[in-house]
């Protein structure tokens, strides 16, 4: 792009003011390489990036291009899961779609390995790489919501908390996940499960358009009407098809004071709670979201908990919830009318940035008696391990398995196996705990949700099922050189 014309825009001026490290146009001495640097190509070969080319990229971007030694380099390369400590050759902190386009073109022309960082929550660490280019969207996080048009627009690096805040302030909402520091980018492109999905569907079911920079550097707006194939593919196909710089969501009128909270029982009551839940959940209204979690709590000890959000008249919700509340003897019942954000943020600190973590999941077709028995038998009493559930059904299954790229529409529940610890010496044990718990319940699985899976790479084709061939065709049209490969990779046909 023409750097001089960009510098004239007000947008560039306001960004330079907001991010002083960028300096004024043409003054990015911090990003200049003293010599050429070594990097790695898409297929792992060593390549050299010339000093002049790096300088040119630095001058073309409105955000800084950071090399090791830049004061923001270490902060930018750190992602949520402390297990990943990778050092990109370059980090391009993009502030505009043009920046992203320039960074993509730079990488494609050199066949340079590329990682795209949205919110940085990738469990397997796909948003950072050693010796490649990291396209960092973390400063493209503006979100705007409009009550008249019932639309929200979120930058590709925004977090779910930004989306919730902007929509709730206008009396609106759309499906967003359960931890507010998760990025909208990877989250939406993989599907998007949250506490309102039974009523509004997955986040991709609320996506109306996206601005995406494809491997050729082109900035495209895709929707049902425009590049419909590509729009289909990004609704579940992950970051395979380009860098999304803006998402447009449909949003819904919403009273943020919802009947919500947790009911907690000692773990020895798990058989009763799960037995009841297995039969009861089939008849749940779409307004009701509830599902079990089994964990070891620092104060309460070994427990089974049920999370509740009723997205409707609280009096009606109380009636629907009454049978669950009558099961066993809970040690805590915190379900009351409260701000939706209380639950949307209550796990934020427990799973704060820097935790070392492993995760697997299973999309379960039926919450059967066999599953109940196996959940009870397999319980691991360890403060590092937990099972959570994302309850599906309702609006999630109104959409057919080939209507979007995300195929697992008929699952009743997603079981999430999570382990977290802080001490690197526990890495092997922490991983194994997660694998063991998953293995004990795997026979109930009909596939997995790619966004919460650390071992998906070898099972991509099977997991996309009937959508895989179409995804490969679309990949070969928009990314024939497989530039965007740090994801659950779909190889071009």
Ligand X SMILES: Cc1cc2nc3c(=O)[nH]c(=O)nc-3n(C[C@H](O)[C@H](O)[C@H](O)COP(=O)(O)OP(=O)(O)OC[C@H]3O[C@@H](n4cnc5c(N)ncnc54)[C@H](O)[C@@H]3O)c2cc1C
CA-nearest of 191, 158, 162, 195 to 177 is 195
**Binding span for ligand X by CB under 6 A among 49-57, 69-77, 182-190, 368-376:** 182-190
User: Per CB under 6 A, which of residues 333..352 are in contact with ligand X?
Assistant: 351
CA-nearest of 379, 479, 369, 493 to 42 is 479
Is residue 187 a contact point for ligand X (CB under 6 A)? yes
CA 440 to chain centre: 26
**Which residues lie across from 332 on neighbouring strands?**
264
* 75 membership: H or E segment, kind and range: helix 73-77
CA-nearest of 95, 115, 97, 96 to 39 is 115
- Give whichever of 16 and 66 is closer to ligand X, judged by the CB atom: 66
As measured in angstroms, the least distance from the Cβ of 34 to ligand X is 30
Is residue 447 a contact point for ligand X (CB under 6 A)? no
Is residue 391 a contact point for ligand X (CB under 6 A)? no
As measured in angstroms, the least distance from the Cβ of 163 to ligand X is 12
Contact string 235-254 vs ligand X (x = CB under 6 A) = ---xx---xx----------
Cα separation, 13 vs 16, in Å, equals: 5
- Give whichever of 186 and 407 is closer to ligand X, judged by the CB atom: 186
- Give whichever of 79 and 264 is closer to ligand X, judged by the CB atom: 79
**Binding span for ligand X by CB under 6 A among 110-118, 144-152, 272-280, 468-476:** 110-118
Cα separation, 77 vs 219, in Å, equals: 25
**Which residues lie across from 209 on neighbouring strands?**
223, 248
Residues touching ligand X, count (CB under 6 A): 37
- Do the bridges between strand 133-136 and strand 207-213 make them parallel or antiparallel, or are there none, so unpaired? unpaired
Q: Which of 57, 76, 116, 405 binds ligand X (CB under 6 A)?
A: 116
- Give whichever of 419 and 451 is closer to ligand X, judged by the CB atom: 451
Taking only Cα atoms into account, the Rg of the chain, rounded to an integer number of angstroms, comes to 23
Is residue 456 a contact point for ligand X (CB under 6 A)? no
As measured in angstroms, the least distance from the Cβ of 195 to ligand X is 8
- Give whichever of 306 and 327 is closer to ligand X, judged by the CB atom: 306
Q: Which of 28, 77, 84, 121 binds ligand X (CB under 6 A)?
A: 121
**Binding span for ligand X by CB under 6 A among 3-11, 54-62, 177-185, 396-404:** 177-185
Q: Which two tokens stand for residue 15?
A: 């960004």
Counting beta carbons within 10 angstroms of the beta carbon of residue 318, is it exposed (0 to 12), middle (13 to 18) or buried (19 or more)?
middle
For CA atoms 82, 86, 91, 97, give the dihedral sign. negative
Altogether, the residues listed in the chain come to a count of 493
Is residue 209 a contact point for ligand X (CB under 6 A)? no
Is residue 182 a contact point for ligand X (CB under 6 A)? yes
**Which residues lie across from 250 on neighbouring strands?**
151
Which residues contact ligand X by CB under 6 A? 79-80, 116-123, 126-127, 137, 156, 177-179, 182-183, 185-187, 189-194, 238-239, 243-244, 351, 451-452, 486-487
């Amino acid at each position: 792009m023409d750097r001089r014309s960009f510098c004239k825009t007000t947008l560039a001026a306001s960004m330079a003011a907001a991010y002083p490290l960028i300096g004024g146009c043409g003054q990015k001495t911090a990003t200049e390489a003293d010599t050429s640097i070594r990097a790695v190509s898409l297929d792992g070969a060593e390549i050299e990036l010339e000093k002049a080319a790096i300088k040119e990229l630095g001058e073309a971007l409105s955000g800084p291009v950071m090399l090791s030694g830049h004061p923001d380099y270490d902060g930018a390369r750190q992602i949520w899961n402390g297990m990943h400590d990778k050092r990109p050759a370059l980090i391009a902190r993009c502030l505009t779609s043009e920046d992203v386009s320039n960074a993509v073109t730079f990488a494609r022309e050199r066949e340079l390995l590329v990682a795209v960082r949205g919110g940085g929550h990738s469990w397997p660490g796909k948003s950072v790489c050693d010796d490649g280019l990291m396209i960092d969207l973390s400063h493209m996080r503006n979100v705007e919501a409009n009550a008249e048009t019932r639309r929200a627009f979120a930058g590709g690096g925004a977090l779910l908390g930004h989306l919730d805040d902007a929509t709730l302030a206008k009396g609106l909402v759309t499906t967003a996940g359960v931890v507010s520091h998760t990025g909208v980018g990877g989250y939406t492109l993989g599907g998007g499960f949250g506490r309102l999905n039974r009523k509004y569907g997955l986040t991709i079911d609320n996506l109306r358009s996206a601005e995406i920079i494809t491997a050729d550097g082109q900035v495209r707006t895709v929707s049902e009407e425009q590049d419909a194939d590509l729009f289909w593919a990004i609704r579940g196909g992950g970051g395979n098809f380009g860098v999304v710089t803006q998402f447009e969501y449909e949003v819904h009128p919403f009273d943020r004071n919802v009947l919500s909270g947790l009911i907690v029982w000692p773990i020895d009551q798990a058989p009763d709670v799960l037995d009841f839940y297995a039969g009861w959940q089939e008849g749940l209204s779409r307004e009701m979201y509830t599902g079990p979690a089994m964990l070891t709590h620092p104060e309460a000890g070994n427990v089974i908990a049920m999370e509740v959000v009723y997205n409707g008249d609280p009096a009606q919700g109380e009636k629907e919830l009454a049978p669950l509340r009558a099961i066993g003897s809970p040690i805590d019942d915190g379900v009351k009318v409260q701000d939706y954000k209380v639950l949307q943020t209550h796990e934020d600190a427990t799973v704060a940035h820097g935790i070392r973590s492993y995760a697997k999941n299973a999309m379960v077709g039926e919450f059967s008696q066999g599953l109940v028995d196996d959940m009870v038998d397999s319980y691991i009493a360890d403060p590092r391990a937990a099972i959570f559930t994302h309850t599906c059904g309702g609006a999630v299954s109104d959409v057919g398995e080939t209507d979007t790229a995300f195929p697992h529409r008929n699952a009743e529940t997603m079981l999430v196996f999570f382990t977290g610890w802080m001490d690197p010496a526990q890495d092997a044990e922490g991983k194994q705990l997660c694998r063991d718990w998953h293995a004990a319940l795997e026979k109930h699985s009909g596939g997995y949700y790619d966004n919460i899976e650390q071992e998906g790479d070898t099972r991509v084709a099977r997991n996309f099922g009937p959508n895989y061939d179409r995804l490969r065709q679309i990949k070969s049209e928009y990314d024939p050189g497989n530039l965007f490969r740090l994801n659950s990779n779909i190889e071009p046909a």
